[in-house]
Every structure is written in structure tokens, then in C-alpha cells.
Chains A and B, each alone.
Chain A
Amino acid sequence: MVTLYRFTQRELRLLARQKADWLNPLLFFVIVLSLFPLGVGPEPNLLRIMAPGIVWIAALLSVLLAAERLFKDDYRNGVIEQLVAAQQPLLSFVLAKLITNWLSTGLPLVLLSPLVALLLNIDQASLVAMVFTLLLGTPLLSLLSVMGAALTVSADKGGILLALLILPLYIPLLIFASAAIEAASMALPYHGQLAIMLAMLLCAMALIPLAVISALKLNVS
């Protein structure tokens, strides 16, 4: 526990020093959102219909973007190699990365959602649903992106490859999250979708840290 706390502290400190790492993806999120009305036209009803999909596609792209650099520095300067050799601290290290990744990319998206609702003409019921889906969904996005980043950390061509690997895995989340918002906009219950998202999140929380650890191990071997 102490190890996890210290490591999380270190990651947060690094984020505070490299602000571009988490600010740029957020900026990207807002810009992508504002591109959609420019592309499909400013018709409020059209935007309202498309909003769930737009928000979630923008969210998963920006989380993916943020994850790409996650392990790069620590890989390049040998921290990961030496942690793998030491074995014990590795799990705490991975968990710290996951927590800070969510804090720096997922949580801001939740906080930004009222702004998004304004931009895309989303009503209040949908906004509530959107906040819930983002709260449940962004940790899962972080988990999957961190796994992708760990898999490709020593690869020669990172960025595009990461997207190719991880985007297909996002599909279930995208489906259920946008369906929940859509249901809310039609005043239908959406507990079912949220429950499924929670189930997916819990499974991922159990399995993905292990996958990340083995991905890091094979990348330094």
C-alpha cells in the first residue's frame, strides 16, 4: 500500500511537470467535438441524435492519445527493465500508472461533460446519463489503453499501432455507453446498460493489470 501511494505520488508529480501529456489530449477532445458540427451541420436536432456517439468516439480517441506516452520515458531510461528484474514493485507501479492515467484523462472528461452538453445541445436527462457512462466507462478506457501502451512500449512504431490494437477492443464499451445516453434522451431506463458497463469494468480491473505486467515483462526480455 505504501509502495502504491509513493508510486502514485511520483506519477502525479511527473504529470504536474509534463502538463502537455494530459492537457493536449483534453484539448484534442474538445477540438474533435467542435469539428463534428462543422462537418455534419449545426442543426440542433441532428446534433442531439448524434451526440452520444460523438462524445464517446472523441473520448476514446483522446484517452488513447494520452496513453501512448505513458510507459515510453520509463522504458527508455531503464526504469521498467529494473522493476521487472525486481519483480515485487511491478504491480504497484502498474496500478499507479492506471490510477494516474484515469485521474489525468478520464476524470477531466467527466468534468468537461457539462461543456460538451452545451456544445452539442444535449438535454439534462442525457447529460446525467453521459456523466454516469463517463464515470463508469473512462476507467475501462484507461485500463485498455494502458494495456495497449504496455504491449507496444518497445515497438518501433508506437502510435498508429496502438490505435489499431486497442480500438477494436473499445467497441463493446462504445455500444453500451452511447446506447445508455440514447435511452436517457428518449426518457427510457438505462440501468441495464450501466450494469453491463460496470460488469465489464470489474472484469477488466481483475484481469488487465496482469496483462499489463506480462506485456511489460515481454517487452524488456
Chain B
Amino acid sequence: MRAILTVVDSQRLDIKPQPFHVSTAQPLLEGRELCCIRQDRVLFEQQNLVLRAGELLQVAGKNGAGKSSLLRILAGLAQPDEGAVYYRQQTLAQAGAGYAADLCYIGHQSGIHEQLTALENVSFWRTASGVAAADDFTLLAKLGLAGLEDIPCRMLSAGQQRRVALARLWFVKRQLWILDEPFTALDQGAIAMLQQHFLQHLQSGGAIVLTTHQPLQITYEALTTLELVYRW
């Protein structure tokens, strides 16, 4: 039912004040005693986490430790089997569309349609994020995709596809980014550029949750690492 009511809100998105509302006292995102069970295996339980504005939370752990599941729970896609996620002291159910409007989630699959060109994919996500059209050529050129704008994405390499997906982070005005393995398939230059962009986002009061196997190259002031232990 909610979906119908929130269609109207999509115009309101771009006039969100920038930089974001920052309150250090209040955590932005909080997971309380989260428990996740997949196919009869307890991935994690009694998991607490706190994320404040300006903070970066790195979720680490072996393959299958439940990193993606945790991120999906934080993004409101999956329900925790126990515990709850709080956004600005409200559960996600209470926060509802307000939470979704503050969130940019890029999952393990990048959200790029192979039959569409880089330009078309970017403009799709612009529309989906409620951001007005702008000069995508410059943006794609900045991401090292100059000359590849009009080629269907299936012709691009995995790293280039990932860049197209991450282009979203340059135009969405969302305070909270939840990124699942953003560095996958990217080369060193792109990783450095992305991490620099993270720094800017954090400085303007944003917050980031991400999973990665690689150590971060930039030292962020407010970096928390959450190590998920693989359990049988």
C-alpha cells in the first residue's frame, strides 16, 4: 500500500539539504542483537552495531560468514530472525519510506542491465533515485568510461560495469550508503578514486557501510571494522 502513497514524494528528493543533518549524539543506524539464520545455519547472533553520521563501517569476514546477509538486513531487504535495525531511533518498519529515501544500496549484483548502454543505465538509476537529468557524459568520463557511453554494457569488462554501477554514488543525495563489495573487479586507480569519494561523503556528514576483502588505502578517522566470524 505504501508504494502508492510515496510516488508523490519522488519530487521532494532533490531538495534535501546538503550537507546532511549531523548529530553525533544520536546514532544514525543501529543494529540491536541481530540474528540471521540461513538454511538452518546461524550466520550471526547477538550482533550489535552502531553507525553515526560521518562514520564508515567495514564489515569483514570470510566467504559465507554472512556479510551480504547483514547488509541486506541493514538495507531493510531481509528481516533479521531476531533483533531489529534502528534508523534514527526508529525501527525500519516505523521509519518506512523515510529510511528508503535516505539510503543508497548497491548490492552484490551491480544493478546494470547488460542490454542497455552505460548512459542508459546511469539515466535509469537517476530516474529511480529521483534525481534530475544532468550531464552524464562528464560523469562517465570522470569514471574512465569516455568513449564507452553508447556501447551495451555486456560488451564492457566486469570492472567497467562496476564503474557504471558506482556512478550512482556521484549523483544520489543520500546520507547512508550500503555497498556490498564495491571494489570487486576495479583496478587500483578506480579503487583510489572511489575511496577518495567515500572520504568526501563522510566529511559532508554521510555514513557508509561496506564489505570488502581488501584493506582500505586511505586512513579514515571514523572507521569501525566489524569482523564476522564464520560459524558452523
Do A and B interact directly, with beta carbons closer than 8 Å? yes
Is the Cβ of B9 less than 8 Å from the Cβ of A78? no
Binding-face segment, B81-89, B121-129, B207-215: B121-129
Which residue from chain B places its CB closest to the CB of A3 in the assembled complex?
B127
Tell me what chain A mostly uses at the interface: helix, strand, loop, or mixed. Answer: helix
Residues from chain B with a CB closer than 8 A to the CB of A3 are 7, 10, 127-128, 130
Known contacts A13-B120, A89-B127; decide if A221 and B78 are in contact (CB<8 Å). Answer: yes
Check if B77 sits within 8 Å of A221, measured CB to CB.
yes
Stretch at the interface among B55-63, B111-119, B138-146, B184-192: B111-119
User: A76 interface residue, CB < 8 Å from B?
Assistant: yes
Query: How far, in angstroms, from A92 to B72 measured CA to CA in the complex?
Result: 23
User: B residues within 8 A CB of A87?
Assistant: 2-3, 6, 97, 100-101
In the complex, the answer to whether A77 meets B113 with C-beta atoms within 8 Å is: yes
Bound: A14/B153 CA distance, A: 13
Q: Decide yes or no whether B51 CB sits under 8 A from chain A.
A: no
A74–B127 CA distance with the chains assembled, in angstroms: 16
Contacts of A86 in B (CB 8 A): 100, 103, 105, 128-129
With A81-B77, A91-B4 already in contact, the answer to whether A18 and B110 are too (CB < 8 A) is no
Question: What residues of B have a CB within 8 angstroms of the CB of A74 in the complex?
Answer: 113
| B47 contacts A by Cβ under 8 Å | no
Complex Cα gap A83–B3 (Å): 12
Contacting residues, chain A, for B195 (C-beta < 8 A): none
Q: Smallest Cβ distance from A18 to chain B, in angstroms?
A: 6
| Chain B residues within 8 Å of A77, by CB | 109-114
The size bracket of the interface on A is 20 to 34
Interface residues in B, total, Cβ within 8 A: 38
CA distance A10 to B127 in the complex (A): 11
Question: Is B27 interfacial (CB 8 A cutoff)?
Answer: no
A96 to B113, CA, bound (A): 16
* Residues in B neighbouring A7, C-beta threshold 8 A: 124, 127
Evaluate contact between A13 and B3: CB separation under 8 angstroms.
no
Q: Does B108 contact A (CB under 8 A)?
A: yes
Residues of A within 8 A of B152 (CB): 17
| C-alpha gap A82/B104 in the complex (Å) | 8
A14 vs B97: C-alpha distance when bound (angstroms): 29
Q: Give A74's nearest chain B residue, CB to CB.
A: B113
* A90 beta carbon closer than 8 Å to chain B: yes
Interchain CB contact under 8 A, A89 and B77: no
Cβ contacts under 8 Å, A17 to chain B: 115, 152
B residues within 8 A CB of A13? 116, 120
Chain B's nearest CB lies how many Å from the CB of A170?
26
B101 in contact with A88 (CB, 8 Å):
yes
B43 interface contact, C-beta 8 A = no
Min CB distance B35 to A, Å, is 16
Chain B neighbourhood of A93, CB < 8 A: 128
Instruction: Compute how far the CA of A159 lies from the CA of B3 in the bound complex, rounded to whole angstroms.
Output: 28
- When distances are taken between beta carbons in the complex, the residues of chain B under 8 Å from A33 are none
List residues of chain B with CB within 8 A of the CB of A90: 3
- Would you list which residues of chain A between 1 and 53 have a CB under 8 Å from chain B? 2-3, 6-7, 10, 13-14, 17-18
Q: A7-B127, A82-B128, A90-B3 given. 17 additional CB < 8 A pairs? A: A13-B116, A13-B120, A17-B115, A18-B115, A73-B114, A79-B111, A83-B128, A87-B101, A88-B3, A88-B6, A88-B7, A88-B9, A89-B130, A92-B7, A210-B3, A220-B77, A221-B78
Give residues in B with beta carbon < 8 Å to A.
1-4, 6-7, 9-10, 72, 75-79, 97, 100-101, 103, 105-116, 120, 123-124, 127-130, 152
